Every structure is written in structure tokens, then in C-alpha cells.
Amino acid sequence: MLGRRVENHEDGQLSIDFVIGFTIFMIAFIFVATMISGLLISLQSKSIDYDAVAYRTGVVLTEDPGEPFNWHLLDLSTFKARNETLKRLGLGISRNVPGILQESKVEKFFSPDCGDSTKLCYPTDYSQRLIFGDYPYRFNITLRELDETRYWAIGDEPPDKYGYIRRVVMIKRPGIALINTTNATSNELIIHMLLQNLYQPPEGLPKENPAYIVDPIRENLNISLRNFTIPLTSMTNLELYKYINPPSSPTPINIPVDSPTIRIYVDGNLKTLPALVTNDTSIIIEEGYFPRETINEFSDVEVHITFDKPVSDETYLGIENVAENPPLSRAVMEIKVW
């Protein structure tokens, strides 16, 4: 029934029925209008982003040496180094040779330990210096060497759907100086390291490709001693000297106890002097040891290794003649982001 409305055309009053209906309508309309502007927000969902983030992470890891380019030598226990100096975690050896990774950076990257202040902390250091972005992306990065069958992994177990990229890279392994001892006159083995011979080619030739340089300053150098002819030889002393310009008598270089330093391994075990040596003896000059003792590419260093039996015939052992890099090895890296 129409009610009283029909008779009162000029009284200027809305019936309560109309007001309520209109109010309900307006409330629903405002609610929907506000909801529509939120429709677009759902289109910016993070699931579109994951593949792009994985690609970018792949580029930073494989084609970028990181910032600073020798971040693997930083002492992360200081606040400044960890939070200001270290900006980007990249695994490359140089920005001019993309796709070649440095093994020391790989080892540092894949072994985080939040309890150790000198190591990277998972996941905070990684999300700030590798993944970037405000959204807390989770990731899983794996690296497998094809022929050596080494395998590194970091991150959580991925769900069913994730952003993905696969990269093929090469890994540069640290240099090895293979020295065969001979049963001759001297008990001392002297290795002369005029470091600029490793970094600078002879005059008139261009700079070497960084993928093939033996780099004792930024990488480990393994001095591998073989072919001990007399059984039960033991190493009694290890000393380093440097020659400062202008020529003067050699200055001994300190060998500290904590890393980075020089370490002696026999059959894979760390030894202190004096030590019995076998045909699997290595003296590892750890990366960062030379910068620690302010030795740079222009320094002149001599390593004196003393034994208790004759090991050499006092021939001149220049590091550039005995040290070489193992061949670059190929590896596959997979990055998953979700």
C-alpha cells in the first residue's frame, strides 16, 4: 500500500522508508568504491616478482665481484666493516671477466655463522646485501662443481612454487707452487717472491687476464713440497723476509698465530714446527696475510724453509716460475626465491 505519501506532495519530508533504504545503499556504495581502489593493490602481488628477483640475484652473484671487490678479506668483527664497508656480496673475481667465481668468496659465502663475528650471518647479511628489497624474500642458493663434485648450499627448503634461475659459471681455484726437493747440498729452501712478476707481465706486454693470475695477496697460495728423498726429514724453521727499497738488509716478517697467517699442513693435518714432513706437505699462505703485514704487489719477499736434511741445491726459485693456477673448473648455480 502506498500510505500517506500520495496525499502529501508538497510537505518536503522524506519518508523514513526512503531514508533508510537510501542510507543502506550509500553505505554499500561507499564500501564498494573504496574496495575497488584496493583491487589494484592485489595485482602488485609478490609472486610476479620472484623470478625477477632470482635473476637479479644471479647477476649479482655471478657477474659482480661485490663491493668492495675483496670483501672476503674484510674483518667482519668490526662494526664499520660489516655495516658500512660491505655493500654487496658478489662472487666474481673481477668486473671485467664476468662469470668466473673466486673460490675464497664462494667458501665465505656458503658458510655463514651468526655466532662467529668474523663470518656472515644468515639471513640478515644476505637479505641486505644480496637480495635487497623491503619484502623479506626467502631464498635457496646451490652451487655444484661439475667435475670435482664439490657442492655448496645455503638457504631454506623451497616450497612448490618459486622464482628460479640457473647459471653456468667457472671457478678459479687458488694457485699452487709445486716444488720438488732434491738431495743436494743445502738444508734450506728459499723461494723468492718478487710479487710484481706475478701481477705485472714482463715489460711491453699487456695486463694479464685476472682469471689466470696467481694472486697470493687476495687468495690462498699453496706451496706444495714433494719428493723428499731422505726419509724422516723434518722441517725445523719457516721464516719470511722482505726487502725494502732502497735495498737494505732483509727485514723479518712476523708470522702471527691467528688467521690470516701462514700454516703448515702435513697429510692434511695442521702442524707446528718442528714437524716431520711427508710427500704431502703444504705451506699455505692464507689470503689476507700479505695485506696484514703490509705487503703489496710491489713487495719483494723471500721465504726461507729450513730442514734438518739436505733438500735443495740452492738454485733460485722464483715464484713466477713455480706457481700456477689449476685449470678453471665449471660449475652450475641454482637460485630459488620465494
Partner 1 sequence: MVDDTAQLYTIEGVAAGFLMILTAYFIISSSTVITPQETHIADLQLEQLGSDALRVMDTPTENGTPGYLALCLSNYDPISFSDNITRLINTKTDSGTDRLHYNTTIFYRDGAAIGNATFGGDIYYRENAVKVSRLVTVDHFPPGAGIPNRKQVVLVEVLVWRS
Partner 2 sequence: MAKLNDEGQWIIMMGFIVSIAIFIMALIVAESALVGKTTSESVLEFPKNDIQDLRSELFDRRWSDFQDPAAYGNLQNDIINLSLNRKGAVISFSYYQPGDDSVLLIHYNNGLTEYNDMYTERPSELSRGVF
The number of residues that bind partner 2 (CB under 8 A) is 31
- 10 Å CB burial of residue 96 (0-12, 13-18, 19+) is exposed
**39 vs 149: CA distance, rounded Å:** 49
| 131: contact with partner 1 by CB under 8 A | no
What grid cell was written down for 95?
Answer: 668486473
Residue 194 sits at the vertex; the CA angle it makes with 192 and 195, to the nearest 5 degrees, is: 125
19/270 with CB nearer partner 1: 19
38/136 with CB nearer partner 2: 38
**318 vs 91: CA distance, rounded Å:** 30
50/307 with CB nearer partner 1: 50
What grid cell was written down for 166?
Answer: 640457473
Q: Is the distance from CB of 183 to CB of 137 less than 8 angstroms? A: no
Q: Residue 201, preceding bond cis, omega within 30 degrees?
A: no
Radius of gyration of the chain (CA): 33
**122 vs 115: CA distance, rounded Å:** 10
Contact with partner 2 (CB under 8 A) among 75, 297, 300, 334 = 297
Q: Is the distance from CB of 177 to CB of 319 less than 8 angstroms? A: yes
Q: Per-residue string for binding with partner 2, 7-46, x by CB under 8 A? A: --------------xx--x---x--x---x--xx--x---
Instruction: State which of positions 249-278 bind partner 1 (CB under 8 A).
Output: none
| 51: contact with partner 1 by CB under 8 A | yes
Contact with partner 2 (CB under 8 A) among 14, 52, 114, 270 = 52
Q: Is the distance from CB of 91 to CB of 109 less than 8 angstroms? A: yes
Q: Which stretch binds partner 2 (CB under 8 A): 207-215, 231-239, 261-269, 325-333?
A: 207-215
Q: Is the distance from CB of 264 to CB of 212 less than 8 angstroms? A: no
Instruction: State which of positions 188-217 bind partner 1 (CB under 8 A).
Output: 208-209, 211-212
Contact with partner 1 (CB under 8 A) among 8, 13, 48, 113 = 48
The three-class DSSP label of residue 212 is: helix
Contact with partner 1 (CB under 8 A) among 13, 17, 77, 298 = 17
What residue 330 binds from partner 2, partner 1, none (CB within 5 to 8 A, per partner kind)? Answer: partner 1
Q: Is the distance from CB of 333 to CB of 58 less than 8 angstroms? A: yes
Contact with partner 2 (CB under 8 A) among 58, 92, 174, 210 = 210
The one-character DSSP state at 250 is: P
51/64 with CB nearer partner 1: 51
Contact with partner 2 (CB under 8 A) among 46, 87, 166, 207 = 207
| 171: contact with partner 1 by CB under 8 A | no
Q: Is the distance from CB of 166 to CB of 55 less than 8 angstroms? A: no
Instruction: State which of positions 61-100 bind partner 2 (CB under 8 A).
Output: 69, 94, 96-98
What DSSP line would sit under 30-46, residue for residue?
HHHHHHHHHHHHHHT-G
Instruction: Identify the residue whose cell numbers are 659465502.
Output: 109
Footprint on this chain of partner 1 (rule: CB under 8 A):
1-4, 15-25, 27-29, 31-32, 35-36, 39, 42-43, 45, 48, 51-52, 55, 58, 62, 99-100, 142-144, 146, 151, 153, 164-170, 208-209, 211-212, 325, 327-330, 332-334
Q: Which residues bind partner 2 (CB under 8 A)?
A: 2, 21-22, 25, 29, 32, 36, 39-40, 43, 51-52, 55, 69, 94, 96-98, 196, 200-201, 203-210, 297-298
